[in-house]
Amino acid sequence: MSWDIYIQDLPDVASISDVPDEFKPQPIGKREDLLRAIKEAIPFADQQDNDWFFAKRDGIDISIQLHMENATEVRYMVVHVHGGDQSAACVGGLLRHLGLRAHDTGTGELFDGFSLDEGL
Protein backbone atom coordinates (compact mmCIF):
# COMPACT_ATOMS: atom_id res chain seq x y z
CA MET A 1 0.00 0.00 0.00
CA SER A 2 1.34 3.44 -0.85
CA TRP A 3 0.53 6.83 0.61
CA ASP A 4 1.98 10.32 0.93
CA ILE A 5 3.26 12.26 3.92
CA TYR A 6 3.54 16.06 3.59
CA ILE A 7 6.40 17.52 5.64
CA GLN A 8 5.59 21.17 6.14
CA ASP A 9 5.30 24.04 8.54
CA LEU A 10 2.49 23.09 10.91
CA PRO A 11 1.40 24.73 14.15
CA ASP A 12 1.74 22.98 17.52
CA VAL A 13 -1.72 21.39 17.58
CA ALA A 14 -2.93 17.94 18.60
CA SER A 15 -4.90 17.19 15.44
CA ILE A 16 -4.96 18.37 11.83
CA SER A 17 -8.52 19.56 12.47
CA ASP A 18 -7.10 21.98 15.07
CA VAL A 19 -5.03 23.89 12.49
CA PRO A 20 -6.61 27.36 12.37
CA ASP A 21 -8.22 28.32 9.06
CA GLU A 22 -6.09 31.47 8.95
CA PHE A 23 -2.79 29.58 9.43
CA LYS A 24 -0.33 30.30 6.59
CA PRO A 25 2.51 27.76 6.42
CA GLN A 26 5.99 29.20 5.94
CA PRO A 27 8.86 27.62 3.98
CA ILE A 28 10.58 24.84 5.93
CA GLY A 29 14.17 25.71 5.08
CA LYS A 30 16.89 26.37 2.57
CA ARG A 31 17.32 23.77 -0.17
CA GLU A 32 21.01 23.13 0.55
CA ASP A 33 20.41 22.72 4.30
CA LEU A 34 17.55 20.28 3.71
CA LEU A 35 19.51 18.26 1.14
CA ARG A 36 22.31 17.86 3.68
CA ALA A 37 19.88 17.00 6.50
CA ILE A 38 18.15 14.31 4.42
CA LYS A 39 21.51 12.64 3.73
CA GLU A 40 22.41 12.85 7.44
CA ALA A 41 19.12 11.25 8.49
CA ILE A 42 18.95 8.67 5.67
CA PRO A 43 22.52 8.04 4.53
CA PHE A 44 21.48 5.42 1.96
CA ALA A 45 19.11 7.85 0.20
CA ASP A 46 20.09 8.40 -3.42
CA GLN A 47 19.64 11.95 -4.72
CA GLN A 48 18.15 12.24 -8.22
CA ASP A 49 17.94 15.64 -9.88
CA ASN A 50 17.76 18.64 -7.55
CA ASP A 51 14.44 17.80 -5.99
CA TRP A 52 14.20 14.02 -5.46
CA PHE A 53 15.66 11.38 -3.14
CA PHE A 54 14.98 7.64 -3.32
CA ALA A 55 15.59 5.41 -0.31
CA LYS A 56 15.18 1.69 -0.73
CA ARG A 57 16.53 -1.20 1.28
CA ASP A 58 15.08 -4.08 3.29
CA GLY A 59 11.83 -2.83 4.81
CA ILE A 60 12.14 0.74 3.43
CA ASP A 61 10.84 2.01 0.10
CA ILE A 62 10.26 5.77 -0.07
CA SER A 63 10.90 8.73 -2.31
CA ILE A 64 11.17 12.33 -1.14
CA GLN A 65 10.26 15.27 -3.34
CA LEU A 66 11.14 18.87 -2.49
CA HIS A 67 8.61 21.53 -3.49
CA MET A 68 10.22 24.92 -3.84
CA GLU A 69 9.02 28.32 -2.64
CA ASN A 70 11.62 30.05 -4.77
CA ALA A 71 15.14 29.33 -6.05
CA THR A 72 16.59 28.64 -2.59
CA GLU A 73 13.76 27.91 -0.13
CA VAL A 74 11.69 24.75 0.20
CA ARG A 75 7.96 25.28 0.81
CA TYR A 76 7.32 21.62 1.78
CA MET A 77 8.42 18.07 1.03
CA VAL A 78 6.32 15.07 0.09
CA VAL A 79 7.41 11.61 1.12
CA HIS A 80 5.89 9.00 -1.16
CA VAL A 81 5.76 5.75 0.81
CA HIS A 82 5.80 2.94 -1.73
CA GLY A 83 5.84 0.09 0.78
CA GLY A 84 8.09 -1.47 3.37
CA ASP A 85 7.32 -2.26 6.99
CA GLN A 86 10.03 0.15 8.24
CA SER A 87 9.21 3.09 5.96
CA ALA A 88 7.07 4.91 8.55
CA ALA A 89 9.85 4.59 11.12
CA CYS A 90 12.33 5.93 8.56
CA VAL A 91 10.10 8.95 7.92
CA GLY A 92 9.74 9.40 11.69
CA GLY A 93 13.53 9.49 12.02
CA LEU A 94 13.75 12.08 9.26
CA LEU A 95 11.12 14.25 10.96
CA ARG A 96 12.93 14.07 14.30
CA HIS A 97 16.19 15.04 12.58
CA LEU A 98 14.53 17.99 10.83
CA GLY A 99 12.48 19.05 13.86
CA LEU A 100 9.37 19.20 11.69
CA ARG A 101 5.90 17.68 11.62
CA ALA A 102 3.88 16.23 8.80
CA HIS A 103 0.40 15.50 7.51
CA ASP A 104 -0.23 11.81 6.78
CA THR A 105 -2.64 11.37 3.87
CA GLY A 106 -3.10 7.72 4.81
CA THR A 107 -4.80 8.62 8.08
CA GLY A 108 -5.72 12.25 7.40
CA GLU A 109 -3.99 13.16 10.67
CA LEU A 110 -0.68 14.57 11.85
CA PHE A 111 2.37 12.35 11.52
CA ASP A 112 5.22 13.50 13.70
CA GLY A 113 7.07 10.24 14.21
CA PHE A 114 7.90 10.98 17.82
CA SER A 115 6.17 7.83 19.07
CA LEU A 116 7.91 5.55 16.55
CA ASP A 117 11.03 3.48 17.11
CA GLU A 118 14.17 4.68 15.39
CA GLY A 119 13.89 2.13 12.59
CA LEU A 120 17.30 2.95 11.12
> Which domains, from first to last, does the chain contain?
3-17+25-111 (3.30.310)
CB 102 within 8 A of CB 7: yes
CB 81 within 8 A of CB 111: no
Q: Which residues contact 117 (CB under 8 A, 6 or more apart)?
A: 89
Residue-averaged pLDDT of the chain:
92
Say what the pLDDT of residue 113 is: 59
Quickly state the pLDDT bin for 119 (edges 50, 70, 90): very low
Q: In whole angstroms, what is the distance from residue 115 CA to residue 50 CA?
A: 31
Q: In whole angstroms, what is the distance from residue 104 CA to residue 93 CA?
A: 15
Query: What's the pTM?
Result: 0.90
The pLDDT tens digits for 11-39 are 999 999 999 999 999 999 999 999 999 99
Say what the pLDDT of residue 100 is: 94
Say what the pLDDT of residue 2 is: 86
Q: In whole angstroms, what is the distance from residue 14 CA to residue 72 CA?
A: 31
> 1 or 55: which carries more pLDDT confidence?
55
